[in-house]
Amino acid sequence: MAFNFNWSPLIADTSRARDMLTTALNKSPKPPIIVDDIIVTELNLGSTPPELEILEIGDLAEDRFRGIFKMSYTGDAFLTLKTKVQANPLNTYLSSKPDFASPMPLAASSGLTIPLQITLSDIRLSGFVILVFSKQKGITLVFRNDPLESLKVSSTFDTIPFVRDYLQKVIEEQLRVLFMDDLPAIIHRLSLRLFVPEFQELETETEERLDGSNDTTVPIDPLLTPPQDAIDSFGNPIDVSQITALSLDPASEMHASFSKSNILRLAALSESQRTLSLFTPGIQEVVFRAWANNPDQSNSGTATPALTQSSLSRIQSTFGSNRSHASSVASGSTGQETYSSRPTVVSNYSAPAGLSLGANRGTRGQMRKRKKRVVDLRKSKDSAESPGVPTEPSTPRANTSASDTTSSIPEEREMEDLVTTPTSASDSYYRVEGSHPTMNAAGPSRLMEQTASADVLLPAAPLLADAPKLSRPKPKAPAATAAAVPIRLHEPEMEERQRSHSSRPPLSRNRLRPTQQATSPLLRSLSFDKVTSLSATHSKLPTSPSYAESTSSSSGGILEQAWMMKMANEIALKVQQEKGRGVSRGRSEDVSSSSSAKNLSSSAPSRGMWMSSEEEDAPPPAYVA
Amino acid sequence: MLDFMESVQNAFYEASHWNLDNSYGALNATARALLDFQTPKGLRLQISSLAAPNFATSYTLGNVGVVDGSVSYLYSSLPLHRKLKSAELDLHHVVRGYRHLQELRRPDEEWWSEIWHNGKRIDQKDTLLYGRIFLPQSRLEALYLRRVTPTRQLRVSAVSDSALNNGGTILTLLQNDTGKYSTEYMYSTDSALMGLRGLYNFGADPRVTPTNPITTTPSTSEIVHGRFSAGAELYYGLLNKSGGISTGLRFTTLPDHTGFPYTMTLTLNPLMGNLSSTYAVKAGRNLALCSRFDFNFYSYESELQLGCELWRRRRSTGVEWAVKKMHSDRERATDAPDDDVSGILKARVDQAWRIGLLWEGRIKELMFTIGASLDLRKREQVFRAVGVELQYSS
């Protein structure tokens, strides 16, 4: 085995490393003798590379590496620092003393600042290095022991032996701290810039804002290889104990914690989907479900179409395992199952990307079945239009906001088949819903959910939300719970439908906790609460009864029902107003909401009627996504 | 605004006839009061009481950090009779501003304080004991003050704090003040710092003037309008083998001066090349202005600071002038001198546009201090610190 160790590109451009070193040096509180920022004016890594001896390789793959080296360095690197020091010893001495017992000199302590230039050279290092490399997380480099053997400090005060010795001593101390603490962080961030372009963008943004002082990267035990800024999908920082717990299960480790930059990006994406904004942030290193076309998906009726893609998403398998014990709870489990069966084709690093892109994936996942469903859709839509659903002028909007620019291209190609429907996103929903007979049982419940969604107009809440939320309809629609078991067999359809409901308001977040914790750490970490808080679009709805209540006790059903009724009434009211405005304003914009809302408004007063009439024609979903 | 305990200590100095201003350390007290005042940070409450003429307690509560506070007690062997209740104390005693120096007074004679009883001296030296503990830092401050003789005072202050080197520090200060000159010797346990300070007042010696028979016709030439003082200080740390030195000059007008009172100081630190000059003027009953210019002739760094102190008084209402006129000066003598003061504004600014603002005053029986320090250079964070301090004493 051989390694190609290329030293020259490292020494090419050190300006960035210089900046980072400057930041790192000024971060920690400085001794009182240093009265100005420490600025790294020159940094040269030298032409001699360090010698590395491989002691152990723990993990080796194309995109990751973990090993322990013995490093020794006797090169010609040097570093020049500039700062200002306080030359009056009385001043520095008194500044650290309490006033009460201070002699309070009148002017004897007045300061004299002297510019100081220090050059560090002849650095001798030797130590054990733990190096962890992963394409997503960059390089983590940690010294096992204190690597600094010796160095030469030359400064402006070389002629004064007392000052020289003092400087030598202090700088050696500081350097030891630097090697043990700061350098791993710097290297990690540098590598992130190199390998993770999105991090680079984010970094530059934040640095502009905060002047690089927001260094959240902390070196952690590299043997566990957790992400440096470990947060779960809601932006909760994962504490160390949790990380260790997660990494006991190597499969979940990668998924349970996400890069902060990705979370931000996803938040931006889901937010943009809630508005008319056409902006869709590009997310790197993400395989959208639509792109990972898998022929297995065509057989929609079979039990686990999604799991065939498990190579891409280990997260699914975790959820799949949950299904077995979750199934005892009728409709609550349906939610999880459907979620688990959803083919989330996401690169391991950014699981939430795929999840919050639910709308996109929904459209794409159906592409393969589209031919068949097109027929169904038209039928269903025609029938659906009869109860007063207006035609869909709003589809363009749904399309633009919902579908990623890249992903929409193939869709439009397929659209040629569909003569009547101009766009794909909304159509696919219709198709799906109309095509499946199993939907009937759950129909009314879904409707109610849509009432909620129509109100908020927040589309495409990340799909994660669906799992807990699905529990809500259960008590309200006993028929649905009865049908829940058969439905589970047709998970794809359920999933399709739920995807269309992605705009439902999230449940109250805190109450989700108990159940989530009961399931698995992964599920817990995937809980929805922080995604929404990140995206900063909070539902205006009152918090709905908790998931735990609804799943565990049927008594909560009354509450649920009352709440849903209230919501439906509210929405009906809103729709009335909306309609009044919509007429004057021209319907191009509001139709989507009002169309679905219209159904709802009619549904609100008489739910029984809906239960019967909704059987075959699903109402248009709030495809604001 | 002075802390209650500082006010009590000042009252002790006053009662024991110790002149605080006649020390090299107080050479530029005026400039420091107008330019270096501390702006409060956060909220701070203080409740204190001079429970007996010899005993005072004070409690403070602040929100610096989480919640912190302090408890302090003071004992003075000399009964203190200055008005220290917040409702009736003299604002000039608690607001540090322009120090209008008075004529030097002759030190007390030794025998004045002697009390004999049955052929034995039973009088005791005046002593002040003070302790303060800060919670939750567990820092303890202690002060021992003793008037050894009418011209000599011993002051021992100590701080005990586990965060400090060696767990604390003690400063011993022996002060001599004869009026004409004053000397101070100090020793600090922290790095074994030794210090020496001296101040010499030019002009007539207060000790000899009383011996001259008061002339029936005081010639105008003898009236002293101002005082010129010179002093120096010297420090040397035995352990860290480093020292410091400075010299200073001051000219200040005395109450006999007919024009605006003003004070000029010039201090020089020859080791560090620092030259500092201040000029403070009391431009009126309500206004004092001060400027300071620092220059370092080694590093050519310079600094300019400006400050002012403004006493704001309430406008007398319509009838009041008539009342005043009717009762002329008879009524006014009984009035508290600062009854109409609504607040004192202190402001300072330096050449880097760092601004400090302080608004002090009294509302009913509550003394308040509102302060802010601003940095106009840093646009994103103009307010560096804002704070409110409330004091109540009974």
Name the more confident of A101 and A508: A101
> What is the structure's pLDDT at B172?
96
Share of chain A above pLDDT 90, in %: 0
Optimal mutation site among B190, B250, B276, B294, interface A, most CBs of chain A within 10 A: B190
* pLDDT value at A462 more than 70: no
- Side-chain-side CA neighbours of B73 within 13 Å: the count stands at 3
Record: contact A105-B173, CB cut-off 8 A = no
Q: What pLDDT band is residue B262 in, cutting at 50, 70 and 90?
A: very high
* Shared-domain flag, residues A199 and A327: no
Which residues in chain A have Cβ-Cβ distances shorter than 8 Å to B299? 112-114
Q: B69: domain range?
A: 4-105+118-204+223-393
Residues A429 and A310 in one domain: yes
User: Smallest CA–CA separation between B167 and chain A, in Å?
Assistant: 12
Same domain? For A505 and A609 the reply is: yes
Q: Six-digit token pair at A381? A: 């839509």
Residue A42 lies in a domain: yes
**Are the beta carbons of B195 and A110 separated by less than 8 Å?**
no
Residue of B nearest to A91 (CA): B244
B233, A102: Cβ pair inside 8 Å?
no
Please tell me which of A412-426, A476-490, B220-234 the model is most confident about, judged by mean pLDDT. B220-234
Q: Which residue of B has its CA nearest to A112?
A: B272
Number of domains in chain A: 2
Best mutation target, A93, A106, A116, to test chain B (most B CBs within 10 A): A106
End position of a domain, from candidates A186, A210, A234? A210
In what helix (H) or strand (E) does residue A478 lie, and over which residues does it extend? helix A478-489
Cβ–Cβ contact A12 with B under 8 A = no
Confidence of residue A236 (pLDDT cuts 50, 70, 90): low
The helix or strand, by DSSP H or E, that contains position A433, with its residue range, turns out to be helix A425-435
* Contact call for B139 and A98, based on CB within 8 A: yes
| Inside any domain, residue A154 | yes
Q: Are A613 and A434 in contact (CB under 8 A)?
A: no
Question: What is the helix (H) or strand (E) element at residue A409, kind and residue range?
Answer: helix A405-415
Is B138's Cβ below 8 Å from some Cβ in A?
no
Report DSSP letters for A153-201, one per residue: EEETTTTSHHHHHHHHHHHHHHHHHIIIIIHHHHHHHHHHHHH-HHHHH
Mutate to test the interface with A, among B9, B72, B188, B269 (most CBs of A within 10 A): B269
- Let me know if residue B113 belongs to a domain: no
Rounded mean pLDDT, A406-434: 43
For residue B82, the model assigns a pLDDT of 87
Residue A301 counted as domain residue: yes
Tell me: do A436 and A311 sit in the same domain.
yes
The strand pair at B42-52 and B383-393 is best described as parallel
Residue of B nearest to A105 (CA): B25
Q: What pLDDT is recorded for position A568?
A: 82
Nearest CB to B171 within list A89, A103, A106: A103
Q: What is the pLDDT of residue B86?
A: 85
Neighbouring-strand partners of residue A355: none
Residue B156's pLDDT band, with cuts at 50, 70 and 90, is very high
For chains A and B, count residue pairs whose Cβ atoms are closer than 8 Å: 102
Q: CB contact, 8 Å: A161 with chain B?
A: no
- Locate the chain A residue with the closest alpha carbon to B141: A100
String of DSSP letters for A362-390: HHHHTGGGHHHHHHHHHHHHHHHHTTTPP
A107 interfaces chain B, CB cutoff of 8 Å: yes
Residue B296: strand pairing partners: B274
Let me know: does B297 contact B285? Beta carbons within 8 Å.
no
pLDDT for A94-139, tens place per residue?
887 888 888 888 888 888 888 888 888 888 888 888 888 887 778 8
Cα A211 → chain centroid: 24
The total number of structural domains in chain B stands at: 1
Domain contains A233: no
pLDDT in tens, B380-391: 888 888 999 999
| B213 found inside a domain | no
Of B28, B171, B233, which has the smallest distance from its Cβ to A101's Cβ? B171
Mean pLDDT (whole number) for A601-612: 44
Interhelix angle A183-195/A15-27, rounded to 10 degrees, is 140
Determine the pLDDT at residue B157.
Answer: 95
Q: Are B269 and A108 in contact (CB < 8 Å)?
A: yes
Residue A203: which pLDDT band, with cuts at 50, 70 and 90?
A: low
**Contact at 8 Å (CB) between B300 and B348?**
no
**A423 and A314 in a common domain:** yes
Pick B244's closest partner by Cβ from A90, A101, A114: A90
What number of CA atoms fall less than 13 Å from residue A75's CA on the CB side? 17
**Rg of the Cα atoms in chain A:** 30
- Pairwise pLDDT comparison (A62 vs A534), residue with the higher score: A62
Do A192 and A317 share a domain, yes or no?
no
Give me the pLDDT at residue A43, please. 84
Q: What is the pLDDT of residue A453?
A: 43
Q: Which of A202-211, A455-464, B129-138, B149-158 has the least mean pLDDT? A: A455-464
Residue B375 domain-assigned (yes or no): yes
Contact A101 B157 (CB under 8 A): yes
| Per-residue pLDDT at A61 | 82
CATH number of the domain bearing residue A190: 3.15.10
pLDDT attached to residue B247 = 95
- Of A161, A190, A210, which closes a domain? A210
Closest approach of chain B CAs to the CA of A100, in angstroms?
Answer: 7
Residue at A40 is within a domain: yes
Residue at B68 is within a domain: yes
Predicted pLDDT of residue B75: 95
Judge if A442 and A577 occupy the same domain. Answer: yes
pLDDT averaged over chain A? 59
Average of pLDDT values for A383-410?
Answer: 43
Choose, out of A84, A86, A90, A104, the residue to mutate when testing the contact with B (most B CBs < 10 Å).
A90
- Domain that residue A478 falls in: 271-613
Written as six digits, the tokens of B195 are: 């210090």
Predicted local confidence at residue B293, as pLDDT: 96
Half-sphere exposure of A486 (CA within 13 A, CB side): 11
Chain B nearest-CA distance from A446, in A, is 50
Are the Cβ atoms of A90 and B242 closer than 8 angstroms? yes
Residue A242 Cα, gap to closest chain B Cα (Å): 28
pLDDT band at A298 (very low <50, low <70, confident <90, very high): very low
Of A100, A101, A108, the CB nearest to B244: A108
Which of B157, B190, B246 lies at the smallest CB-CB distance from A107?
A: B246
Whether residue A387 lies within 8 A of chain B, CB to CB, comes out as no
Dihedral (C-alpha) A503, A507, A512, A516: value to the nearest 10 degrees?
A: -10
B240 part of contact set with chain A, CB < 8 Å: yes
CA-based nearest residue in chain A for residue B191: A93
Nearest-Cα distance to chain B for A71, in Å, is: 38
Percent of chain B with pLDDT over 70: 90
DSSP assignment of A86-140: E--HHHHHHHTS-STT----SSTT---EEEEEEEEEEEEEEEEEEEEEETTTEEE
pLDDT band at A471 (very low <50, low <70, confident <90, very high): very low
The alpha carbons of chain B give a radius of gyration, in whole angstroms, of 23
Cα nearest neighbour of B159 on chain A: A101
| B214 inside domain | no
How do residues A82-92 score in pLDDT, each as one tens digit? Answer: 988 888 888 88
Among A353-362, A499-508, A553-562, name the one with the lowest average pLDDT.
Answer: A353-362
Contacts of B231 in chain A (CB under 8 A): 106
Query: Residue A294: its pLDDT value, please?
Result: 53
* Dihedral over alpha carbons A590, A593, A596, A601 (to 10 degrees): -90
Is the model's pLDDT at B320 over the cut of 70? Answer: no
**pLDDT interval class at B199 (50, 70, 90):** very high
The pLDDT assigned to B181 comes to: 92
Tell me which of A183, A210, A237 is where a domain ends: A210
What are the tens digits of pLDDT across the range A176-202?
Answer: 887 888 888 888 887 887 777 666 666
| B283 located within any domain | yes
pLDDT classification of B183: cutoffs 50, 70, 90: very high
State which H helix or E strand residue A580 sits in.
helix A556-585
A538 touches chain B (CB under 8 A): no
Nearest to A106 among B164, B186, B233 (CB): B233
End-to-end CA distance of chain A: 51
Helix locations, A220-291, DSSP H? 240-248, 250-256, 260-274
Q: What is the pLDDT of residue A266?
A: 79
DSSP string computed for B233-282: EEEEETTTTEEEEEEEEEEEE-TT-SS--EEEEEEEETTTTEEEEEEEEE
> Residue B12: its pLDDT value, please?
94
Mean of all residue pLDDT scores within chain B: 87
- Please report, for the domain that includes residue B84, its CATH number: 2.40.160.10
Residues A23 and A144 in one domain: yes
SS3 content of chain B, % helix, strand, coil (to 5): 15, 50, 35
